[in-house]
Amino acid sequence: MTSPVWHPFTQHGLDEPIPVVARGEGAALHTADGRRIIDAISSWWVTTHGHGNPRIMAAIAEQAGKLDQIIFAGWTHEPAEQLARSLVDMMPAPLSHVFFSDSGSTAVEVALKMALGFWANRNEPRDRILVMEHSYHGDTIGAMSVGARGVFNQAYAPLLFDVGTVPFPRAETEQVTLDALEDACRSRPAAFIVEPLVLGAGGMLFYTPAVLAEMRAICARHGVLFIADEIMTGWGRTGTLLASEQAGVVPDILCLSKGLTGGAIPLAVTLATPAIFDAHRSRDRAKMFFHSSSYTANPIACAAANANIEIWRDEPVLARVADLGQRQQRHLDRIGSHLKIRTVRRAGTIAAFEIEDETGSYLSAIAPRLMAHARDHDVLLRPLGNTVYVMPPYCIDDDDLSAIYDVVESFLDR
């Protein structure tokens, strides 16, 4: 019997096998039929400390025995209070207000609504959002609207709102981006949303901290709100807790999700400065922030995030991240000399390169072929078009990391 499950970003008409995973531990997934699969992409960029982290699992179990779920409008609970306090301590000042939601996409929707609410409540309504070329901010309608247009959202284009797009800051032509942003800021947009240092789904495109700092300065100069989407780059992925740290940048609004619970359970937060919060604080009920989802600040998810933060506090996470980065670099140095490999690059724990291919599009034939080859050799990889990236959990050992690159090499040499 075929499964009734409709999978995300999956073309069911191609009848590709869909492995059943029964158990996860560290950097490995174990299938129901007994194979051990190396998770080379941290289960779509979420798993930081590894699958089944004992401290996070224990926190989930403990919280599940106390309080599973509670309405969060007008009510609260200790896991959320503790998490909000910890986040404010950990994240740069003045990001002092924490709004909860349940996925990266909703964290972005919240950020956009906060930005427009800020201007509306000040009686200076602004509605235009500036974005960077090739960005990805999620798959809900608002998040798609501020992301790159392409085959993934062509059918929904009539529902997407119009945005101002600045070119991606390519090496050597960064000034073009800065000039375009400066120009766009003059027409009084509400906000600029950006993925700091690394554009993930857009193809693992990297740009420099200097450009990020300059973009932030331009927005500040023009009074345009600066939204940092650190959903993929946060929690150590790029070598620091936040990627924006490397540029000394503090956004007005910060979106976090993927590594927030160590990747164990869905949760997201949107942090805001007092200015954004205060614009919504009033005796007038019409000025409150009109957003909620049923599971806002779910206590079990908050407990998992608190355990993640404890791990960050008392384990050498950044040292692990630095070590993984160096090991990634050694593999890149070796594989980079392969004839079919181009533009080898690394940002913290993220290694990326292109495999030579005539199309270069997301629908490049390389992605499904490499994905299938890796799956057949017990590695979970998911290239973006002809862009291959390796982004494992921080706990991956040398043997598993080498095995990932061996699989890529055996694909190239076929």
> Rounded to the nearest whole angstrom, what is the least distance from the CB of residue 173 to ligand PLP in the complex?
23
Residue 267 interacts with ligand PLP (CB under 6 A): yes or no: no
Stretch that binds ligand PLP, among 83-91, 186-194, 228-236, 402-410 (CB under 6 A): 228-236
Nearest to 84 by CA among 228, 269, 227, 275: 269
The CA distance from 65 to 228, in Å, is 36
Identity of the residue, 201 or 370, whose beta carbon is nearer to ligand PLP in the bound complex: 201
Tally of CB atoms within 10 A around 187:
12
Which listed residue (26, 104, 259, 348) binds ligand PLP by CB under 6 A? 104
CA 263 vs. chain centroid, Å, equals: 11
DSSP 8-state secondary structure symbol assigned to residue 286: G
- Spatial contact of 215 and 250, defined as CB atoms under 8 Å apart: no
Give residue number: closest CB to ligand PLP: 104
Task: Give the contact letters, 173-212, x = binds to ligand PLP (CB under 6 A), - = no.
Answer: ----------------------x----xx-----------
Sign of the four-CA dihedral 276, 282, 284, 289:
positive
Distances (CA, A) of 250 to 95, 215, 227: 8, 12, 9
- Beta bridge partner(s), residue 194: 228
Nearer to ligand PLP (CB atom), residue 136 or residue 411: 136
Maximum Cα–Cα distance across the chain: 68
Q: Which stretch binds ligand PLP (CB under 6 A): 69-77, 154-162, 208-216, 225-233?
A: 225-233
Residues ≥6 apart with Cβ < 8 Å to 238: 196, 197, 198, 246, 347, 348, 349, 350
C-alpha R_g of the chain: 21
Under the binding rule (CB under 6 A), the answer on residue 232 touching ligand PLP is: yes
Tell me the window of 133-141, 245-253, 328-336, 348-356 that interacts with ligand PLP (CB under 6 A).
133-141
Q: Which of 231, 390, 404, 407 binds ligand PLP (CB under 6 A)?
A: 231
Nearer to ligand PLP, 255 or 279 (CB): 255
Residue closer to ligand PLP, measured from CB, 231 or 307: 231
Q: Least separation, in Å, of the C-beta of 59 and ligand PLP?
A: 21
- Interatomic CA distance for residues 381 and 371, integer angstroms: 6
One residue of 136, 312, 353, 394 binding ligand PLP per CB under 6 A: 136
Q: Which of 63, 103, 145, 273 binds ligand PLP (CB under 6 A)?
A: 103
Give the count of residues interacting with ligand PLP (CB under 6 A): 14
By beta-carbon proximity to ligand PLP, the closer residue of 9 and 290 is 9
The H or E element that residue 346 is part of is strand 341-347
| Euclidean distance between CA atoms 324 and 396, whole angstroms | 8
CB of 137 to ligand PLP, least distance (A): 5
User: How open is the CA angle 68-42-20, to the nearest 5 degrees?
Assistant: 75
Among 39, 109, 214, 229, binds ligand PLP (CB under 6 A): 229
Pick from 145, 257, 328, 364 the residue near ligand PLP by CB under 6 A.
257
- The residue range among 8-16, 132-140, 296-304, 321-329 that interacts with ligand PLP, by the rule CB under 6 A, is 132-140
For 346, phi then psi, to 5°, come to: -150, 140
Stretch that binds ligand PLP, among 32-40, 103-111, 122-130, 270-278 (CB under 6 A): 103-111
Instruction: Say how many C-beta atoms besides its own lie within 10 A of residue 332's C-beta.
Output: 18
Instruction: Give the shortest CB-298-to-ligand PLP separation in angstroms.
Output: 15
Interface residues toward ligand PLP, by CB under 6 A:
103-105, 108, 136-138, 195, 200-201, 229, 231-232, 257
